[in-house]
Structure 1
Amino acid sequence: MASVNAREWAKNVIKQEEIDKYLINGKDFIDEDLIWDKLSKNSEPDKEYIRGIIKKSLSITRLDPDETAALLNVRDEELWEEMYEAGAEIKRKVYDNRIVFFAPLYCSNLCVNSCTYCGFRKENPHEKRRILTMDEIKQETEHVIDAGHKRMIVVYGEHPQSDADYMAESIKAIYSVQKKAKNGNGTGSIRRVNINAAPMSTADLKKLWEVGIGTYQVFQETYNRDLYKKLHPAGPKSDFRWRLYALHRAMDAGIDDLAIGALFGLYDWRFEVMGLLYHAIDLETQFGIGPHTISFPRMTQASGSELSTNSEYIVSDEDFKKLVTVLRLSVPYTGLIITAREKSEIKKEVIQVGCTQTDASTRIGIGGYSEAAKLQDEEKQQFMLGETRSLDEVIREMAEIGKISSFCTAGYRCGRTGDKIMGLLQECVEGKFCKLNAILTFKEYLDDYGSDETKAIGEELIKKEMEEVRNMEFYQKHNLIGKLEEYYERISNGERDLYL
């Protein structure tokens, strides 16, 4: 499609009436002065006050902005250690000890926006533009399945050639792929397709709902509107509020599984944590449902972007661990996603304070899975990765530290989404089912894709998990132990996709 048509298309993306309907007295939910006021007023928190906040978090109750601001201002390292321990405990209470794995698939790097930190921006002459055909998407999906994945998040540039109709077709294409497992024990497929895509109108979002979208993920990037304007000088993404209410429109379209995030390194990390909290609060206020996941990628080197390596707000490893911990305590029911942007060492450490999901075997070039050998240069990627190990290597490391890998998609297919899953998470019930389904899907992975070394370590972990289940009152009371053992035996004999 000619660039002039792309420009005309971009002019018609934003629907002002689909912004205005969510405003309260003409204002959106981000008030920069209020955020800074909260951070200032809570700059010297009392130690016992902080311990009271930690206790509230452990009751799986969302914190209010003043409480979160107080946590962000803690300077006492002893208190931080208590917060790290609380984050890990909250994660165990809500989600047990499993880590959910997924793979990203980049379908297009055509883009009408001018984001100064992104390699996809339209002015970047180094980016080699490409959009995958449906056959190429199926081929990429086969490679992702061959690694052992069951979940995928699909990423698109904002462009008329990768509009909602293209996205809907790509989702259907991914779901259609069936591939014999590497070890010959079963057939692999992607059971859950989430998408990371630009804000859309409610009508376009309904198209994605109709073809079975999983989670709809939109990152605000920064909640500072003046900086946002500077970083996004042109394109539909330059409209702060159009992006801010993207997930509100998704709710109206029927998509009740939502994911928020910010790009840390663009602005002060404490401010951005507060912005994410206010975003969660507004979704709860207007729809009764908070975000299912929160992401916190750190900005890494992007081709042709000086800002990506020279920002004054680059987040250190120490502060990164702190911001993830505060998010875990502030919104305790929500999943936290740490991505392959991070190096394996920091990922392993931060997972311990409360992360629930991560990617592995990640390729972010367009066609990066089937053409991996040809797509190693950074000029063909949106940003640089820190974690480049295979899924099998990462899973083995997780098992060594007692974390069971999960490929579960049961909750979504059993209707445990939206307000249903939020209630189950807050009551610490959903994690009980997560544990069972993690055992079953981990067994699938080990039999179908695991290396001998990973299989040996993984099966020892499964024995431990099964014994825990047998000894827990919840499973005894609800007669779930027998069903788990039955399903486990059936999977061991070659059946697949059994879940509770």
Structure 2
Amino acid sequence: MYDVASPHAEEFIDHAEVMATLDHARAHARDAALLDEILARAALRKGLTHREASVLLACELPEKTAELYRLAHQIKLDFYGNRIVMFAPLYLSNYCVNSCVYCPYHAKNRHIARKKLTQAELRREVIALQDMGHKRLALEAGEHPTQNPIEYILECIDTIYGIRHKNGAIRRVNVNIAATTVEEYRLLRQAGIGTYILFQETYHKESYEKLHPAGPKHDYAWHTEAMDRAMRGGIDDVGLGVLFGLESYSYEFAALLMHAEHLEAAFGVGPHTISVPRIKRADDIDPAAFANGIDDETFARICACIRVAVPYTGMIISTRESQAVRERVLPLGVSQISGASRTSVGGYDRPEDPEENSAQFDVSDRRSLDEVVAWLMEQGHIPSFCTACYREGRTGDRFMALCKSRQILNCCHPNALLTLAEYLEDYAAPGTRELGRRLIERELTRIPGNKVRERARAYLEGIARGERDFRF
């Protein structure tokens, strides 16, 4: 049944093909010659098939795993440089009609406080995020036909883009909402969203149906084929992800790459981002109840394998993970992280009330955005608040062409420095500001072209004078 270009979920994510892939990977986990061959192919920076990458994930030879990690680090630098894009999730509503057994928003949970932001409350949330320095948001909402209809989501997007507070502005709104129709994806595109994000949760159909016993999300095909409908609706940047811990990680990994291959085959554009969340403790949810949790070393290997298999994609690690784990995987290919996240409805504008918890899951990294920015710079990364590609029309196949040829760095590197400079001027603590100014001066010398370097310097001087929103 396996057909990478098929519009049908059970054909482009064919269970028999996944199982054959896992058998192949286990059989060659200690095959040094094959592992060397796959690593050599990965070093060409053209990506790997799901079967090749699954062999690397199953590798039982420590020296080959060390080589994988070195290669993942270098490939990330080659495609994205040493910049790390910053974003924050913004929860609009936790009303939901689904019965996902791993999520506290499930319809039968009577412990959690149900909340939905009014437009006035949303404005306060956005201003709080702007006052931190955020420029890029990921909107989150439960699935509910009357509480969270598409009209509500569109109104929220319009409100967010319209808010100007001091030097603050949200320049890119990504959206993570339930699978919907081509017509509604078209409306999201017209509203100016950046990336449409939807986690598959698990690609194992039998497990998927057990984990989603009721509600619209129970329909495996409807959910799994959502990205195809989004593409047909004109959204050319989509973000994939699974919730590791629900099913065997090797199964999810192979199927996730098959989904990426499907998008390439069917639309000519693979996933703009891939997220790798792990199940976390939340109200009414105990991760220990799920038998497929993965340790930190396995998590690190998954990240490295995704980077070498899909070198062009942005890889996202959220504040589900601790500072220590994020520090472990940042050198292995991560290009985007969240900072100072709140997973409750209304959590940015006011302190969370422990008696009225509306959080989706526990946050492990509770540092402020300024602390995260300073930490990244101390680690040798450039914290980037850039949204230029989205606003310059460099999306979908246009972005991918630049990324795969590694030309995107000509824009991304100076843009990262410019947006970091804005953050330093408007929001940073004195120590962070000084650290950032030294980093910018050092990184300016790494811009290869004299014209671009001098133009960047001129823009930086403009930022110091109070001007904003320069971009390449």
Common fold, TM-score beyond 0.5? yes
Q: Are positions 1:176 and 2:162 aligned together?
A: yes
When residues 423 and 378 of structure 1 are mapped into structure 2, their CA distance, relative to the original with a 3 A threshold, is farther
Residue 466 of structure 1 corresponds to: 444
Q: 2:109 aligns with which of 109, 115, 124?
A: 124
Output the aligned Cα RMSD. Answer: 1.4
Q: 1:41 aligns with which of 13, 20, 24?
A: 24
Q: 1:365 aligns with which of 344, 364, 370?
A: 344
When residues 130 and 341 of structure 1 are mapped into structure 2, their CA distance, relative to the original with a 3 A threshold, is same
Task: Give distance in 2, aligned partners of 1:399 and 1:50.
Answer: 35
Deviations 1:393-413 (A, max 9, x none): 011111001101000000111
Residue 74 of structure 1 corresponds to: 59
Query: 1:376: Cα distance to partner?
Result: 4.6
Q: Any conservation in 1 of the 2:90–2:138 contact (CA below 8 Å)?
A: yes
Q: Any conservation in 2 of the 1:342–1:386 contact (CA below 8 Å)?
A: yes
Q: 1:230 aligns with which of 210, 224, 231?
A: 210
Residue 493 of structure 1 corresponds to: 465
Instruction: Report the more deviating stretch, 54-63 or 149-158.
Output: 54-63
When residues 79 and 26 of structure 1 are mapped into structure 2, their CA distance, relative to the original with a 3 A threshold, is closer
Residue 420 of structure 1 corresponds to: 398
Residue 430 of structure 1 corresponds to: 408
Deviations 1:277-317 (A, max 9, x none): 000011111100000000010000121124x3321111111
Residue 32 of structure 1 corresponds to: 15
Amino acid at match of 2:219: D
Task: Give distance in 2, aligned partners of 1:377 and 1:341.
Answer: 22
Amino acid at match of 1:350: V
Secondary structure of 1:223 counterpart: coil
Task: Give distance in 1, aligned partners of 2:353 and 2:210.
Answer: 31
Q: Any conservation in 2 of the 1:95–1:432 contact (CA below 8 Å)?
A: no
Deviations 1:94-131 (A, max 9, x none): 00000000011000000010000000000001111111
Residue 189 of structure 2 corresponds to: 209
Residue 143 of structure 2 corresponds to: 158
**Which structure 1 residue ranges, 4+ long, deviate > 6 Å from structure 2?**
none
Query: 1:456: Cα distance to partner?
Result: 1.2
Secondary structure of 1:380 counterpart: coil
Q: Any conservation in 1 of the 2:6–2:266 contact (CA below 8 Å)?
A: no
Amino acid at match of 2:463: I
Residue 455 of structure 2 corresponds to: 483
Amino acid at match of 2:235: I
Instruction: Report the more deviating stretch, 70-79 or 227-236.
Output: 70-79
Q: Are positions 1:444 and 2:434 aligned together?
A: no
Q: Any conservation in 1 of the 2:271–2:313 contact (CA below 8 Å)?
A: yes
Residue 349 of structure 1 corresponds to: 328
Query: 1:53: Cα distance to partner?
Result: 2.0
Residue 193 of structure 1 corresponds to: 173
Q: Any conservation in 1 of the 2:93–2:140 contact (CA below 8 Å)?
A: yes
Q: 2:236 aligns with which of 256, 276, 282?
A: 256
User: Which ranges in structure 1 are unaligned for 5 or more consecutive residues?
Assistant: 1-21, 181-186
Q: How does 1:271-310 map to 2 (within 5 A)?
A: 271-306=251-286, 308-310=287-289
Task: Give distance in 2, aligned partners of 1:122 and 1:216.
Answer: 24
User: Which ranges in structure 2 are unaligned for 5 or more consecutive residues?
Assistant: none
Amino acid at match of 1:169: E
Amino acid at match of 1:198: A
Deviations 1:255-295 (A, max 9, x none): 11100000000011111111110000111111000000000
Amino acid at match of 2:316: I
Query: 1:33: Cα distance to partner?
Result: 2.0
Percent identity of the aligned residues? 40
Task: Give distance in 1, aligned partners of 2:116 and 2:340.
Answer: 21
Query: 1:25: Cα distance to partner?
Result: 7.8
